[in-house]
Chain A
Amino acid sequence: MSLAAEMFVSQIAAAEPWPENATLYQPLKDDQILLSDCASSLAVQAYLRMCNLPINVSYRANAEYMSPSGKVPFIHVGNQVVSELGPIVQFTKAKGHSLSDGLDDVQRAEMKAYMELVNNMLLTAELYIQWCDENTVAEITRLRYSSPYSWPLNHILAFQKQWEVRRKMNAIGWAGKSLAQVYEDVSQCCQALSQRLGTQPYFFNKQPTELDALVFGHLFTILTTQLTSNELSEKIKNYGNLLSFCRRVEQNFFEERDGDSTASSSSRFSKGPSLI
């Protein structure tokens, strides 16, 4: 989104309250969505739940092409469409819902830094594993990514996407990494997160922030997703406080509403065991 458009959106956004029919779009959860998209989508859902903003989740095979930035998930609120966690956080802030208002400048800098650590390491590692590891590509990624399309489009689109991700890996110097090195990076990132979390309930003690939503989205998705090997989730399981953090967020923001709301029937498992 261009800057001018962003400012325009945030100005008109402030005027309207959060509508009841806000919708989040993501790819089909059972047989299409990939690890990285699932993690990003869960992070946004967790964020909105932390803000107490109701959202309906809608599954569309062409979600990626509906999104204004080409990335999922995106939300449709009133007459605006916003994609990805960063802009969505800004958008809700313009509407007066923010989780990080209580932080001082140094804490906010720290929060942004850790969010970039997650994007830089975990998200990149997820992309690497699902598009650059030959086993995963052949057994999982290609089949799932191209599932809505018929021949020959399925092959074309999957190859196009794979080519795009590999060029990105080349540009950031990850193309030369081996799978073992990527696992090592993930492990280091988890160690850093675990150290930062310590014994606190959330990263900034009592009050969850967007960092908690982002970390939960990625860790929970990795933990509950079956890949060709479970080495990735084993890396996280070494850190007990991260596991109990995931359980805490799940209990506080996803389970309590299972009884009373209809939307939640999809929620509990929408995030979870998706990739076969």
Chain B
Amino acid sequence: MATPMELSCWAGDWGLPSVHTDSLIVLAYAKFSGAKLTIEPVDWTWKTLTGTVPALHCEGTTVTEPVQILNFLRKQRYNADYELSAKQGADTMAYIALLEEKLQPALLHTFWVDTENYANLTRPWFASHSPFPLNFFLPSRLASMALSRILLTKGESPLHSIMEVEAKIYSEAKECLNLLSHRLGSSQYFFGNTPASLDAFAFGYIAPLLKASLPSCQLQQHLKQLSNLCQFCDAILKNYFVDRAPGSPPASQDTVDANLQKLTQLVNKESNLIEKMDDNLRSSPQHRPRRADPKPSPLCSERNSTPA
């Protein structure tokens, strides 16, 4: 039973055990089910490029993707859903589908496509957690994957343009957060007093949005109005991750690599600067209309603050 299991995932920050949604889902589920995982962050290794994250290694087999890893853990008798009825199991599937279809596109957009957040938060973070030549290349690769995923799943076919889908995905995401908040109500977890896999998924999606210090944060502000969801995240962090969150393991590594990190951040800032200059050069008249895009946002915030 006690075969050693090793999970490779992105490291933590912002008071979270991991900054990466899928990694966070697996970590939370492992805590809920009592599975002992050895955590091996992929940061500062070449695995950031080649490995699929998160990945669970156990006795020579490798499992990727949160859903598959959760199934694998269940087969190892680490089951957090043991007490759920068949109908609750069905509800779990349905709400996971809701999160994936409605919340994920907006989260990807918030972290990877929104220029301000990407330049000031996401890219510096991922660049400073990748080894030297990759730091120039990895964040933009992840960003283009996120963008193409949004466009392919939400774009309307012939002319895929991010401008047209932005308003739509944000209003859908806000609605999804409202629905989750209604579903959670005043109970501690989604199915009573013990957390199950749906709680792991909801936590994985919501926690980074809640904890990251985003410069452009319309979705985050909406989330902060839904106090029961915020409490739900804080409770999970407090009950299951409290020894880890203030973070001795990342901190110790920090001191070792502090100099290196500072250096990479410096380089990143410089490349940011270069990119901004480049942007300024490019924002000649033909790009003006694109810059004026905050137009739809007041509309949608107006529209969505009412049901909250």
Contact = CB atoms under 8 A, between A and B. Distances in A.
B30 to A, nearest CB: 21
B97 A113 contact: yes
A17 B91 CA distance: 37
Contacts of B156: 69-71
Contact of A3 (B148, B157, B299): B299
Given A116-B102, A119-B101, A195 B89 contact: yes
Interface in B281-300: 296, 299-300
Interface in A91-124: 105-106, 108-110, 112-114, 116-117, 119-121
B179 A113 contact: yes
Given A106-B183, A108-B179, A112-B179, A189 B303 contact: no
B148 to A, nearest CB: 6
A192 interface: yes
Contacts of A164: 157
Contact of A120 (B86, B101, B300, B303): B101
B179 A109 contact: yes
A3 B89 contact: no
Interface in A182-197: 188-189, 191-193, 195-196
Nearest to B182: A105
A70 B157 contact: yes
B74 interface: no
B90 interface: yes
A56 to B, nearest CB: 25
Chain B interface, >50% SS class: helix
Contact of A110 (B94, B97, B102, B171): B94
B1 interface: no
Contact of A116 (B98, B149, B167): B98
Interface stretch (A138-146, A168-176, A259-267): A168-176
Given A2-B164, A114-B94, A192-B94, A109 B182 contact: yes
A193 B90 contact: yes
Interface string B156-189: 1110000010011001000110011011010000
Nearest to B146: A171
Interface of A: 2-4, 7, 69-71, 105-106, 108-110, 112-114, 116-117, 119-121, 164, 167-168, 170-173, 188-189, 191-193, 195-196, 198
12 contacts: A3-B167, A3-B168, A3-B300, A4-B299, A110-B91, A113-B91, A116-B101, A171-B153, A172-B152, A172-B153, A195-B86, A198-B87
Given A105-B182, A113-B179, A120-B101, 16 more contacts: A3-B303, A69-B156, A70-B156, A110-B94, A113-B91, A113-B94, A113-B95, A113-B98, A116-B100, A116-B101, A116-B102, A117-B97, A164-B157, A168-B153, A192-B89, A196-B87
